[in-house]
Structures are given as structure tokens and as C-alpha cells.
Amino acid sequence: MTTAGVRATARIGARDDGRGGTSLPVLEGEGPLALRRTRASDNEARVMLVGAMSGPLGGDHFTVEAEVAQGARLHVGSAAATIALPGQAKGEARYDVRLSVAEGGELRWLPEQLISAGGSDLYVSSRIELQRGARLVFREEQVLGRAGEEPGRLTSRLTVRLDGRPLLDQELACGPGAPGGWDGPAVLGGHRALGQLVVVSPEFARNPVQARLLGESAALTPLAGPAALVSALAPDALRLRRVLDEALSDLD
């Protein structure tokens, strides 16, 4: 590691293997981003993202890319939570997620939480490109600070496009230096765990989901397309996961 920070990219490519399963012709990780193929389920390929070192730290730039071709099914998880730390290098760290799913492909993106530790400064950018007929389950969970700790600065942007048209484009900044009011009743209301679940399915074009509350601090919202968004707040990561798991069970 240098004062400029670490640059690392992980790439996953999933293809229909022609035998009722999914092959992974591309499975490459660099430095702290290690990838491991795990036991497949039916015709779905499963990959685990394993952090080989701490981070991202200040000045680091990590990128994870996944491409799912027509007819392929890919499930991506992570072995543990990602913890943004201040590190010795000054400046913002970046974590970019770039996902694409072709017609008839399916991607389930279900990593563990991202924890914003005190003193850290991280910008997360998730950009998802879907072709018509693609299926997606995308979960994002963020925890502001470890136990008894004030959070770092965390800015997160999520963009989802279907056939080149936007389904969702939103950004949220939290922690020191974020725009005023981020912790107030109009945004987080004092909660320290926030998450969202995006589900895209061709079936929603025929049977759109109905907007409704999912408890005190969560809501299900239909998007302008065959898609649904669940947004949730919770006092801790465990309760956040419980809300999102229940919502996914209903939508799957």
C-alpha cells in the first residue's frame, strides 16, 4: 500500500453453459478483492466476495464488476461485512459496483453490510444496467458506526436502468460534513442502519406491486417498470436484515 491508496478490481462473468447450468468464464480478483466460487444451487452459479485485507481505507478505490449473459443465473454474496476505515492516506475512498444483466439472465446481489467506521470517508457508487426480460435482486445495507462509535462520512448513489431508461437514481449522504438534516426526522430519524432492496421481475409488468408500509420504518414502493423498491431504517443491522429478508420472501 502507498499513500495514494490501493486500486483493485474484481470481475465476474456468468454464461449459460448449454447444459442447464451457469459457467463462470471470468472470475478474477485483485489485492483485497478475492472471489471464490461456492457450491451451485440448481442452475445458479454462486460466488463469494472475500476481503483479503482491511478496507476500503482513505485513498483506496475498489471496483467490482459482474456481467450476466442471456440465460445465466448468478448469486453473489460476501463472506463478511465491509468496513470503511480512515487509514493513513488522506482523502476519500471509493467503492464502485458495476452490474449488467442480459435478457433472460438473473442476478441476485446479496452482500453483507457496509459499516462506516468513525473517521472514514467513503463514496459508494452502484450502477446497474438491465436488458428487458432481465431479473434482479439487489440488496444494499449500510450501518453508521460500530457499537458506541460515531459514523464516518458515507455517500451512496444507486442507479438502475432498464433498456437504457432509468428505473431508480438516488443519492444519500450521511455523517460528518453531509448536508444538514441527514440525521433528522425527515431522513434517518436517529436510526443507524439503513437499507434498500430492488427487485426487478418481468412478472411485475402484469401484476405490479402495491405500495404499502412494512412496519414502522420501512416501505414498499412500485417503480416505473417491472420493479419494486423496499426502503428500510432500523436501529441496528440485525433488525434491518430481518425487515429486508421478510420483504424479499414476499416479493420472490
| Measured distance CA(135)–CA(129) in Å, rounded | 11
Q: Answer whether 228's CB lies under 8 Å from 247's CB.
A: no
Q: Is the pLDDT of residue 2 over 60?
A: no
Going 32 to 88 to 148 to 182, the CA torsion angle's sign is negative
| Measured distance CA(153)–CA(128) in Å, rounded | 24
Residues 6+ apart with CB under 8 A from 208: 222, 226
Q: What is the pLDDT of residues 51-61, one digit of tens each?
A: 766 678 889 99
- Domain presence at residue 18: yes
Q: Is the pLDDT of residue 1 over 50?
A: no
Q: What is the pLDDT of residues 44-93, one digit of tens each?
A: 999 999 976 667 888 999 999 999 999 999 999 999 999 999 877 678 99
- Domain presence at residue 2: no
Quick one: cell of 83? Answer: 468496513
Going 176 to 198 to 13 to 76, the CA torsion angle's sign is positive
| Measured distance CA(149)–CA(162) in Å, rounded | 39
- Domain presence at residue 1: no
- Domain presence at residue 134: yes
Give the pTM. 0.94
Phi first, then psi, for residue 247 (nearest 5°) are -65, -40
Q: Answer whether 33's CB lies under 8 Å from 72's CB.
A: no
Other beta carbons within 10 angstroms of residue 83's beta carbon come to: 20
Quick one: cell of 131? Answer: 436488458
Note the Cα 56 to chain centre separation in Å. Answer: 15
What angle (nearest 5°) sits at the alpha carbon of residue 83, between those of residues 78 and 87?
135
- Domain presence at residue 216: yes
Domain span holding position 202: 7-251
User: What is the count of structural domains for the chain?
Assistant: 1
- Domain presence at residue 218: yes
Alpha carbon distances (Å) from 154 to 10, 116, 144, 149, 177: 22, 7, 8, 14, 9
Residues of the chain with pLDDT > 90, as a percent, come to: 75
Q: What is the pLDDT of residues 141-159, one digit of tens each?
A: 999 988 878 889 999 999 9
